[in-house]
């Protein structure tokens, strides 16, 4: 939906509210309107609107609609790095889902709780939630099971020494999504698999997985979906080549040139500046002795980091609450992270 259509939908929604009052708005209408904003990535605007409905949701909505709304709240707060509130709403969603015996919403809540625990680095509790989600998802089809395997792979790859277990989980996902012809999910998992191979130094496996990811992305016509995925895959290829270069005892400029080429191609896919990508470019240009371009990229990276403020996480790229306790990079003293786990990942 184009921006003009979003504003038109907003105006219609406001007019209806003024006409009958928020407390009398049909839950299905509100949730349908919320879906429009979610599909167009209007998360902050949606959270503001839903907060206005919170009293009506808790007093007059039915259990199913409440459960769906709490799941929305939880995901939106998670997107804002407010994991405390996100956790509260996932717990509410889980409680109601169990009460009304809606296994799909129960699995969604468990997966959400697991993802929250991953982000704060509590991998034990993350696995508990995701194990429960997997039991439910296994009975609901291979594509749902693939989602659970993916989340468990995230937990394992984030832990030192358990990366190969995570890779096995991602490989299961790739097979399931390939069988289901789920192209977008296949691309996302292939990207995770490639990054996991890079983490353990399996360079050729990483390159194969990431190149396959790009090949599938190029076959999808919806650029809104694929541009970011292409950029992520190209950036990952650049990182893989640079890390392979650093692992070798002798200088190999061909690897650096490949790394720089993929990073520059990643820039072409993006509408805005990616700070991590600027840092990659600065490193690659420096290795090729192009110090002038490296300084420009590095200065832009540092300026952008400072401009984003002290509450911006350089790992998950979310702005945290102003009173959040941030981890500062021990190297550059500029980059900050929303959790110890994210500082380690970076």
pLDDT in tens, 291-328: 899 898 888 888 877 777 766 776 766 666 665 667 77
Task: Yes or no: say if 274 and 316 are a contact pair by the CB < 8 Å rule.
Answer: no
Residue 337 lies in a domain: yes
What pLDDT is attached to residue 150?
A: 86
**Lowest-pLDDT choice from 39-53, 200-214, 244-258, 319-333:** 319-333
What pLDDT is attached to residue 240?
A: 93
Count of domains for the chain: 2
Does residue 337 share a domain with residue 316? yes
Mean pLDDT, the chain, rounded, equals: 81
| Residue 166 binned pLDDT confidence (cut-offs 50, 70, 90) | very high
Task: Yes or no: say if 37 and 13 are a contact pair by the CB < 8 Å rule.
Answer: no
Does residue 321 share a domain with residue 300? no
Structure token pair of residue 118: 């991953």
d(CA 263, CA 239): 8
Residue 47 lies in a domain: no
Residue 190 lies in a domain: no
Residue 182 pLDDT exceeds 90: no
What pLDDT is attached to residue 325?
A: 65
What pLDDT is attached to residue 60?
A: 82
| DSSP character at residue 329 | P
Does residue 315 share a domain with residue 343? yes
169 versus 27: the higher-pLDDT residue is: 169
Does residue 318 share a domain with residue 337? yes
What pLDDT is attached to residue 275?
A: 79
Does residue 298 share a domain with residue 280? yes
What pLDDT is attached to residue 4?
A: 54
| DSSP character at residue 209 | H
82-91: Cβ within 8 A, 24+ apart: 82/320, 82/321, 83/116, 83/119, 83/120, 86/112, 86/116, 87/113, 87/116, 90/116
What pLDDT is attached to residue 332?
A: 65
pLDDT digits (tens, 9 = 90+) for 101-126: 998 899 989 999 998 888 888 889 99
Which structural domain, as residue segments, surrounds residue 288?
Answer: 276-308
Residue 283 lies in a domain: yes
What pLDDT is attached to residue 333?
A: 67
Residue 294 lies in a domain: yes
| Residue 202 binned pLDDT confidence (cut-offs 50, 70, 90) | very high
Instruction: Tell me if the pTM is above 0.75.
Output: no
What pLDDT is attached to residue 1?
A: 43
Residue 210 lies in a domain: no
């Amino acid at each position: 939906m184009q921006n003009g259509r979003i504003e038109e939908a907003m105006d219609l929604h406001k007019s209806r509210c003024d006409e009958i009052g928020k407390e009398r708005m049909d839950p299905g209408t509100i949730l349908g309107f919320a879906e429009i904003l979610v599909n167009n990535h209007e998360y902050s605007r949606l959270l503001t609107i839903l907060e206005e409905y919170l009293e009506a949701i808790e007093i007059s909505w039915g259990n199913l609609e409440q459960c769906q709304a709490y799941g929305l709240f939880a995901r939106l707060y998670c997107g804002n790095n407010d994991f405390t509130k996100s956790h509260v709403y996932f717990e509410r969603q889980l409680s109601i889902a169990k009460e009304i015996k809606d296994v799909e919403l129960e699995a969604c809540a468990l997966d959400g709780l697991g993802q929250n625990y991953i982000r704060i680095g509590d991998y034990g509790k993350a696995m508990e939630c995701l194990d429960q989600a997997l039991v439910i998802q296994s009975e609901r089809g291979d594509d749902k099971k693939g989602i659970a395997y993916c989340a468990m792979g995230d937990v394992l790859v984030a832990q030192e020494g358990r990366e190969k277990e995570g890779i096995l989980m991602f490989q299961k996902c790739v097979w399931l999504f390939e069988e289901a012809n789920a192209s977008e999910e296949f691309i996302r998992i292939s990207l995770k698999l490639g990054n996991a191979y890079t983490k353990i130094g399996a360079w050729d496996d990483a390159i194969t997985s990431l190149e396959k990811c790009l090949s599938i992305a190029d076959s999808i016509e919806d650029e809104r979906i694929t541009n970011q995925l292409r950029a992520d895959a190209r950036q990952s290829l650049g990182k893989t080549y640079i890390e392979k270069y650093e692992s070798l005892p002798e200088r190999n400029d061909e690897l650096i040139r490949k790394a720089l080429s993929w990073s520059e191609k990643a820039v072409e896919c993006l509408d805005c500046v990616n700070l991590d990508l600027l840092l990659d470019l600065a490193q690659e240009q420096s290795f090729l002795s192009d110090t002038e371009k490296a300084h420009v990229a590095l200065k832009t990276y540092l300026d952008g980091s400072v401009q984003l403020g002290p509450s911006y996480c350089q790992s998950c790229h979310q702005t945290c609450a102003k009173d959040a306790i941030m981890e500062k990079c021990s190297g550059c003293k500029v980059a900050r992270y929303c959790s110890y786990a994210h500082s380690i990942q970076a």
